[in-house]
Amino acid sequence: MARRNGYWPSKTTDARLRGMTRAAAIARSEAYFDSGAFREDLARRIGMPTESQNPDREHVLVDYIETEIKPTFEALGFACRTLNQNGWPFFFAERTEDAARPTVLGYGHGDVVRGLDDEWDEGLSPWRLTERDNRWYGRGVADNKGQHSINVGALRAVIETRGRLGFNAKYLIEMGEERVSPGLRELAKTHKELFRSDVLIASDGPRLSAERPTVFLGSRGSISFDIWIDARKGGHHSGNWGGLLSDPAIQLAHAIASITEPTGKIRIPEWLPTSIPDDVRRVLANCEVESGTEEPKIDPDWGEPGLTSAEKVFAWCSFSVLAFEAGNPRAPVGAIPPRAWARCQLRFVIGVDVQEVLPALRRHLDCNGFSTVQIAKARDEVFHATRLDPKHPWVSWVVDSIARTTGKKPAILPSLGGSLPNDIFSEVLEMPTIWVPHSYPGCSQHAPNEHLPVAIAREGLGLMAGLYWDLGEPNGQIAQYAVWKT
């Protein structure tokens, strides 16, 4: 029998795995990997250039759903449909087994950032899965095709071993996450009952480190804004007018510098939480952010003083200047520029009112003599900060399941340092959110040479198969967690 989107075990392997046990489901997921079938499935998906930032790839986004993802879920007994919102396609699948059992929502995204084809190392391509030094290279291998492929493979392993999941499953895959999820919020509001579930268990983002399984419970919020000075019309000779005309680049540089101290400590009180909750400090005390051999070296004196590296990135706020422009950077001339502009970004945590971010900046600039500086929110969508209570029973349950499978103590991050549309699930759909990432900080996502260590992919299949198996245990502890409401 030909295999299309999965692993068909041999008769010998089938006999070995026939027992309906947790260990058998994990072994089946590992056999799917070891046979090369997982790599084949992932390679096919990587080969589809689903660049959501490229208008010419619009048809590929639809093809990914219709020709790749939908047949995969249909083969697992899911009822599938394609939804559309604001011109963007979404895939939704549902498998209902028992109304008395918990319902788990999964999520992923099939779109990727631009491939940057000419910038990859020799012999590598964004649209071809290539193994090198125990890593798989290709656009989307970490963000997010590899991650949702791992979870789908684990679902298959449980169904093939047990004959059913033992719980109700829903799955949502969007095709615009790299465009800041256009339409996802409206889709969730429109189809709130369709998506209603007891918990979100999804995968995106990096682990704390390649070696340590991780769960995170929300994400920092993010708001981008433009800040600029329009001094006058046209540039003027820097010799004839230097010393007489204000330089907007210098003024804007001073205005931006006033936002933080020289070491990056934020000076605007409204941009900071009042404190870090004790429960957050407790779980982060067991986490340490380290620089790997291929990652940038951490600057220990940068940011908020008195915080650990983990607290700085997972429990505090950070301000960044993403771009700065004055004059013509590619062809400088001897003229005082008429305008200076910068794109800035604030990453923030629970306790910061996003509606007050720009008004507080306006007050700060005016009080410091920068009334000529103009500000405006960027067109990028605002991500809201979210964080599930680390004491929530679902957190303990997931961590216990992962530890049982891997023999490792998972890291618990209250918030991902980056941003995700997690508030759509936690606030609009009103469910607890647990993220189990299958990547690591040095994966080069969004950059050339995006990659995923082979060991993380194999371990991810096993730990997710164990987790899904535990969700379906009829006499397990899951019942007490399923009824917990945030």
pLDDT of residue 34: 98
Amino acid at 40: E
Q: Which is nearest to 121 in space by CA: 137, 133, 135?
A: 137
User: Cα 476 to the chain's mean position, in Å?
Assistant: 30
- State the sign of the Cα–Cα–Cα–Cα dihedral 59, 62, 68, 71: negative
**Amino acid sitting at position 154:** A
| Whether the Cβ atoms of residue 165 and residue 93 lie closer than 8 Å to each other | no
- Please tell me the predicted confidence (pLDDT) of residue 475: 67
Q: What is the DSSP string of 295-327?
A: SPPP-TTSSSTT--HHHHHHSS-EEEEEEEEES
pLDDT of residue 276: 97
Tell me which amino acid residue 130 is. Answer: T
The CA-to-CA distance between both ends of the chain, in Å, stands at 47
C-alpha span between 373 and 29 (Å, rounded): 57
pLDDT confidence of residue 419: 84
The per-residue pLDDT for range 89-121, each reduced to its tens digit, is 999 999 999 999 999 999 999 999 999 999 999
Mean pLDDT value across the chain: 93
How far apart are the C-alpha atoms of 403 and 393, rounded to whole Å?
15
| Measured distance CA(215)–CA(413) in Å, rounded | 6
338-358 pLDDT, tens per residue?
999 999 999 999 999 999 999
Report the DSSP pairing between strands 135-137 and 218-219. Answer: unpaired
Give the CATH number of domain 222-273+317-377: 3.30.70.360
List pLDDT tens digits, range 167-210. Answer: 999 999 999 999 989 999 999 999 999 999 999 999 999 999 99
Q: Helices (H) and strands (E) in the chain — how many of each?
A: 17, 19
pLDDT for position 379: 85
pTM surpassing 0.85?
yes
List pLDDT tens digits, range 285-322: 999 887 766 778 899 999 999 999 999 999 999 999 99
* Section 425-451 average pLDDT: 96
What's the CA gap between 291 and 294, in Å, rounded?
8
**CB 199, CB 434: distance < 8 Å:** yes
Distances (CA, A) of 471 to 12, 307, 444, 457, 464: 28, 37, 33, 21, 10
Rounded to whole angstroms, the Cα distance separating 292 from 436 reads 21
Closest-CA residue to 374 (of 406, 339, 408): 339
Separation of alpha carbons 469 and 25, rounded Å: 7
Structure confidence at residue 478 as a pLDDT band (50, 70, 90): low
Assign 214 to helix, strand or coil.
Answer: strand
Listing DSSP states for 83-129 in one string gives EEETTEEEEEEEE---TTS-EEEEEEE--B----GGGSPTT-BTTB-
pLDDT tens-digit profile of 233-260?
999 999 999 999 999 999 999 999 999 9
1 pLDDT above the threshold of 60: no
Section 388-395 average pLDDT: 96
Q: What pLDDT is recorded for position 464?
A: 98
Burial per residue of 76-97, b for 16 or more beta-carbon CB atoms within 10 angstroms, e otherwise: bebebeebebeebbbbbbbbee
- Cβ contact 435:217 at 8 Å: yes
Can you list the positions of beta strands (E) in 240-350?
318-326, 335-336, 339-348
Please tell us whether the domain made up of 11-219+384-482 is placed in CATH 3.40.630.10.
Answer: yes
Domain boundaries, the chain: 11-219+384-482, 222-273+317-377
Q: Which helix (H) or strand (E) holds 377?
A: strand 374-377
